[in-house]
A and B are shown apart, each in its own frame.
Chain A
Amino acid sequence: MSLAIWISLAVFAVTYAFIVTEKIPPSTAAVLGGAAVVFFQLIPHEKALEHVDLDVLFLLIGMMTVVGILSETGLFEWVAVMIARLARGRGMPLLIGLVCATAVLSALLDNVTTVVLIVPITILITQILEIPAIPFLILTAIFSNIGGTATLIGDPPNILIGGKSHLNFNDFLFHMTPAVILIMTGSLIAVFLVFRRAMRVKPEARLRILKAHPRRAITDAVKLKRGLPLFFLILIGFAVSHVFEIQPGLVALAGGMLMVIITRTPLRAAVEKVEWETIFFLIGLFMLVAALEYNGLFDLLGGGLARMTSGSLLVGALAMLWVSGVLSAALGAIPVTIALIPLVSAFIAQAGLPAEQAAQADVLWWALGLGACLGGNGTVLGTAANIVVVQIARKNRYHVSFTHFMVYGIPLTLLALLLSSAYLYLRYFLLALY
């Protein structure tokens, strides 16, 4: 390995130490790390900027703007209260209803946004029903990550993969959504078996929910009537954008600006909803990983991986799934995905697959997506959604420790990775349904 690779790795490691230990804000650490690789001339300035994937950033900024505006209408409170009413205040149906709603919302929205919207109303409902809030909170984080795995726009790893590969919104629906349905089913069965006795609600507490008025949760019906149809139009835009060779990021950003106009929201108020920390975090990481890629680290690793797996797609896919899963749990899904994307590209390039198998190589992307998204559930640090849920919980005096989260996270992550392995093997290798 060249000296440039070693220095790039050292900068990456130091930055990473700051990100994980949170001695300084992770976004700041990432941007400073990204600047450092340019200052140390490990990568030319313009090359580093080329790697800052504007499509990914546009997608996040656009969707955060859209959801921020919609959230002002009380829509998400309405959804949660409706679920509580439909569950008639019973604990287990409520838990399953809320985590399913979280998963569906996460598939369509950014995960952090989803949990920020769902967790406060979830805490309120659990307090009203006098049932333990912590299982609800941890499972909300976990199911938001599972649900987000289903679509290109749902989880940051998928957004990143979509940005760096040829895969479009519909490809993700076709390949990832069935896997997520399988994993959701397995996880819900596990949740039901574990919590079926812990969610008993007193009759008088149930009565409080039955007296709730979900319609009153809608605080701005006019904005909702204007914004919701546009939101579905944006989703349709994602599905058809590849036909017009338009990237999802532009659809989201343009959709966000249209939402601003149609709902008559001041632009300043709308963009305040964007989590700029995440945007800066990604900008920094893009530049950091760009230096590693520019200096040839991933070519080396990709070649090594190809040799180790003897070019076998099955071994490569399973290795990618579990390696990305374990690394995401330990280091966080976003940086691991950014680091592994060039590795997948290099593996595909160096595995020497025959032309007829080229399309089959996409299984590696699905393996990376499943591994990174679902592996992030292993620990609090795995995804931003986990961290946000734990922070909101702490502010409301529910202490979720690192190990407490893992008690839920590790078994469900192992289950999800096992089911993913089965899915990848059965679909792509046994049944060959590419």
Chain B
Amino acid sequence: MSSPGTQGTQTTQDSRLFDLGYRRYDGPRTEPISGIATLAVFTAKRVLGLGRGGRHKVLPAITLVIAYAPALISVAVAALADGTLEEDFISYGDYMFFIASALALFSALVAPEALCPDRRTGMLGLYLAGPLDRNRYLVAKWGGVLAVMLAITLGPLLFMFAAYVVAGYGPTAGETPGLLLRILAAGVLTALLYTSLSLAVSSFTTRRAAAAVAIILLLFIPPIVSESAVESADAPPELGLIAFPFVAGELSFRIFGEMPEGDGPPVTEVSTGLISAAVAGFIVGGLFVCWIRYRRIEGFR
């Protein structure tokens, strides 16, 4: 093909064969540490059912609805109420108590997705054969699950806060930093608690169903046991500390300086120091369990 003005000249300049073979990559590469972020994001997406079939989005969606619905209702009421029903608004402490069900659902039925399938499918081996080690893997997994948990714990609270402010029921300028701090603390600690529970149990089994059952049992049995023991057998209220939901709920109440309605679970009588210790214990314990379990797992096959 010759270009105009060059009649009579043979030229091969305009024709080229393109090699469709393998191309080397000389571009930039990310830092090894960013593998953690990549995996965390990937985990969060998988857990939420993004990039998977529609049916995997159902449970996460239900969880989010349960978590945000009270906030939405509360905000709607606030918008309509015009300053007359302030005492009937949901307090932050109460709210955390409500979303415990969303958290339970999520911890048991959704979060095990983060750890269990990888061991079942040999994916863990593939991860470990890359620039990742077991501890980084765990950090990424915790990060991913925690991020989604925060959407359930922190999200609704902040949403409610913002809505109250807009509707004119917000705190004074002086109170605001303190309140925001409390919201942050409650949200983060509660999310950490449930992440810890979910992942620690998941580290014991490759079957999501087994993890789900175990988590549900751990969430429901200790409260029943401790409550009846304290009430009928006169056990000390500290026994309530074995009950995960009690500890988590009470934590939020303490942070916001509120009391639960009615009699409340036995832990209401336990000192704040012990409650904090229990919270720390659960979180650190969960981390430790994961670390130990994954040290021993045979990643390379």
Chain A bound to chain B = no
User: Hey, which bits of chain A sit against chain B, CB under 8 A?
Assistant: none
Task: Mark B residues whose CB is within 8 Å of A.
Answer: none
